Structure 1
């Protein structure tokens, strides 16, 4: 009997430890390590429970603004936007303004041909839980500004994509993450609710009732004064995200103050008419990966951990990574906002569930930094010679196509087109079986050199290497037509 009691006590201690909140000192050390290791320029973490809020921040808003971010600092939240989109869908379904099983054709112009498999059409729920079969992004993209790939992506272009799309798997049968689906869902909900636009729909229906005054797409001058600058994986400023007609996939910006309010509402820590709809978005639907612990819900991921159901959503844009997670049973929520395109999901999950490990981050861009400085001080030809020498001597750098491609893109942005071409051509010679090198060369010849023949050859090579990617055929056909 005594041994049994000791065993029960031991198991109880383990269970309580697993669900214990991390001490503030450990969280502070965690985000300091993340900033010091160049994982991010700035990270701000918020925790909410029945005792109130705790907020921790580290880093700077930007190299030109060394202020510490605070609870009012604006960050792009990326795909956390999807949670807002699905919340509108859930709320409208509970109000019987639409049905989750409604086919998308019910809300689209009659000119749009909607996909189906075995007589089944894509439903609103399919869009919400990623079973529509749509891919991550639409392939018919050819922006005026290469650094703003969806800034001019119109609803007309989206409709053309939907009409031409042919599902390669059965609708509703399996999970496939899709920004395309959520862009379309955002359009449908905006139209069905007769809102002015998607941003106004979310602001009026969610943000205003919850008092989330700084959750927006369009930055005002006052909010811009305390907006973090996004950064690439290697610490260079990244352009702001624009998604145009697919805003519902990830266009919103917010701050820690508002995101903790949203987490509190999902936990029922504050009164909200949205609670039934929020709980509907938390419900399990379909397994994401066959051998993984995660299930898709309406906008969120349900993470089953040691008999507990934890809900989270992470987001990413070219300059930001974010996380929101809640433990409904223990009334505990976590928000992580970061101003670099290096993941922070592991940090958020570790705070939510301390037995979940943190990934060791190692900065891997020293080669890019070295080559960039050499280009500045001695020129591109010398940098190419240095690259070859370093690789020949097995220098302790990470050698891959992204190092050279990012250097070439930096040169392109600074209008050093001939130097960019040299770097891209070196990348082609080093990594001839990677579509990235042919895309970069194709784009620079198409946009800057106005050499259609060379551009076409590079895109055709990309299509040859990756025949299942319809984007290459789309660009090839456009080049042939013009």
Structure 2
């Protein structure tokens, strides 16, 4: 999964920034252009100013093959924006003296979970909430039955197994490393403490007090009708994600209207008993390094040279992007939701601070489209032949990288053409012989085809190329068992 962040911009642009949110007409022109350029099938933007005035603008269609312009009630997966809901639950429990940030997580886990103690330092709730444990973005022990539905069958027992096996070189609290593992575990711990499911906890402690009616995990029939369909970077429809064991890391769905209310509350524009907890969640805990600001409980805090402070959190799932960007100093904010994996952070920065330009979007998937179409209209061997010819001749306008072929193989797998998918993945390893992920993808395809020997060989190559590819290491161990 490719993620591009626009961190550090605020720190380098400095005092030349003039504040002035764009008008609804200006925003409409921008996002309609991006839809036409195939950045996303649909985009919804909501802004709020210091008086609490809102504007919501939508572009595109949130339903495939049907004209359905999104609005403030259209729902999207918000991915990791879920994390600031999880940390608000934590901060609220701290304010109410139900937990302490420095509590070791072992206090709240079953005795069977062997939480590592690194350099005499215990992992605490604050470490989970500030991404400073040392765990990676994802656990290594996932092997979904359906690769298009990656977390639906991942269990709490698997999460506990990962925690018990984990180890790292530096003490918790000394280094930032973004981790969905930590937030999945944090959501489970808070649920255990409260004695309620995570979703119930979010609704009772956050949604009901703030009046958020469309912020949920489980959709009603009416909400399902309002849910935008997700899309891959190149525009193909994808399945929605459910993640029952790690909900606290990215399972929430919401709409722009609700998230603007959430943004307003975090800016102090809405009176709420949750505001002390929000203030606690905004306190910086650890530096991201490289001039990228500080991590609070869930948010990133950045300070511009003119003194303005900004909070932001973005999110990604298999077919969606989201971002909340707040100017704490001027009490303004922007929320953007979109149903594609293509980046939208630059749009948020530009809308809140027009001096920051929109990063020009270019559709780069023409090569993927051509190869896939050739497979469908001719055959896999002809598609590979024409791919090689195009690469040799450096056909203009085409981008050649391993993600192009990987997506072709994924489409062929979904079309139940696994032999053709394997040929494309074999080509990918030939084109990119130093890529661990290329060999891992081929190993995965062989495994799903029942070819254990070939699967082992390719996972071994993936590990040889990158010994730190933890998932490939784990998969290889399972295959050899």
Same fold (TM > 0.5): yes
How does 1:173-322 map onto structure 2 within 5 Å?
173-195=174-196, 197-289=197-289, 291-306=290-305, 307-322=307-322
1:427 aligned residue? 428
The corresponding residue for 1:82 is 83
Deviation at 1:350, TM superposition (A): 2.0
Which residues in structure 2 correspond to 1:37-186 (within 5 Å)? 37-49=37-49, 50-186=51-187
1:291-330 deviation per Cα after TM superposition (whole angstroms, max 9, x unaligned)? 3141101100102112111111011111001110112222
Contact residue 293 and residue 304 of structure 1 kept, 8 A: no
| TM-score of the superposed pair, with normalisation by structure 2 | 0.94
Alpha-carbon distance between aligned partners in 1 of 2:17 and 2:387, rounded to the nearest angstrom: 50
Is the alpha carbon distance of 1:313 and 1:443 closer, same or farther for their aligned partners in structure 2, counting shifts above 3 Å? same
Query: Which moved further from structure 2: 224-233 or 18-27?
Result: 18-27
Give the 3-state SS of the residue equivalent to 2:226 in structure 1: coil
For residues 464 and 249 of structure 1, what CA distance do their matches in structure 2 show?
A: 31
Preserved contact between residue 137 and residue 181 of structure 2 (Cα < 8 Å):
yes
* Number of positions where the alignment pairs a residue of Structure 1 with one of Structure 2: 465
C-alpha contact 2:150 2:241 (8 A) present in aligned 1: no
Q: Does residue 1:409 correspond to 2:424, yes or no?
A: no
Q: Secondary structure at the match of 2:262?
A: helix
Residues in 1 aligned to 2:338 and 2:106: alpha-carbon distance in whole angstroms: 38
Q: 2:203 & 2:24 partners in 1: Cα distance?
A: 33
- Counterpart of 2:43 in 1: which secondary structure? strand
For residue 121 of structure 1, give the secondary structure of its aligned residue in structure 2. coil
Match of 2:11 in 1: none
Distance in 2 between residues matched to 1:302 and 1:90, nearest whole Å: 17
Contact 1:57 1:68 in 2 (8 A): yes
CA distance in 1, matches of 2:66, 2:198: 31
SS of the residue 2:258 aligns to: helix
- 2-structure distance, mates of 1:333, 1:293: 20
TM-score by length of structure 1 reads 0.94
Counterparts of 1:148 and 1:311, CA distance in 2: 31
- The root-mean-square deviation of aligned C-alpha atoms, in Å, is 1.4
Report if the CA contact (8 A) 1:112-1:159 is conserved.
yes
Deviates more, 1:80-89 or 1:374-383: 374-383
Match of 2:33 in 1: 33
Tell me by how many angstroms 1:17 deviates. Answer: 6.3
Q: Deviations over 1:185-238 (max 9, x none)?
A: 00000001111x111111111111111111111122111111100100000001
Q: 1:151 offset after TM fit, Å? A: 1.2
Spell out, residue by residue over 1:114-152, the C-alpha distance to the aligned partner (whole angstroms, 9 max, x if none). 112221101100111111111111101111212222111
- Aligned in 2, Cα 1:110/1:364: closer, same or farther, shift over 3 Å? same
Aligned: 1:445 with 2:443 = no
1:394 aligned residue: 394
Superposition deviation, residue 376 in structure 1: 1.8
Q: Per the alignment, in what secondary structure is the counterpart of residue 18 of structure 1?
A: coil
CA offsets per residue over residues 325-353 of structure 1, 9 Å max, x none? 11222221210001100111111122223
Q: Is the 8 A contact 2:308 2:328 kept in 1?
A: no
Q: Which residue of the partner structure matches residue 335 of structure 1? A: 335
Provide the C-alpha distance between the structure 2 equivalents of 1:265 and 1:309, rounded to a whole number of angstroms: 16
Q: CA deviation at 1:403?
A: 0.8
1:268 Cα deviation (Å)?
1.7
CA distance in 1, matches of 2:87, 2:283: 12
* C-alpha deviation, 1:370, in angstroms: 1.1
Give the Å deviation of 1:51: 4.7
Residue-by-residue CA offset, 1:343-389 (whole Å, 9 max, x unaligned): 11111122223333321211111101111221221222221111011
- Measured after TM superposition, the shift of residue 15 of structure 1 is 6.3
Which structure 2 residue ranges, 5 or more long, are not aligned? 1-13
Q: Give the secondary structure class of the aligned counterpart of 1:218.
A: coil
Distance 1:277 1:368 in 2: 47
Q: Is the 8 Å Cα contact of residues 293 and 305 (structure 1) preserved in structure 2?
A: no
In 1, Cα distance between the equivalents of 2:292 and 2:166? 31
How far, CA to CA, are the matches of 1:420 and 1:477 in structure 2?
A: 24
The CA deviation string for residues 400-459 of structure 1, in whole angstroms up to 9 with x for no partner, is: 1111111011001110111111211111211111122212221121112x1111111111
Distance change in 2, residues 1:17/1:429 (3 Å): closer
| Structure showing greater relative contact order (alpha-carbon pairs closer than 8 Å, 6 or more residues apart) | 2
CA contact (8 A) 1:136 1:178 kept: yes
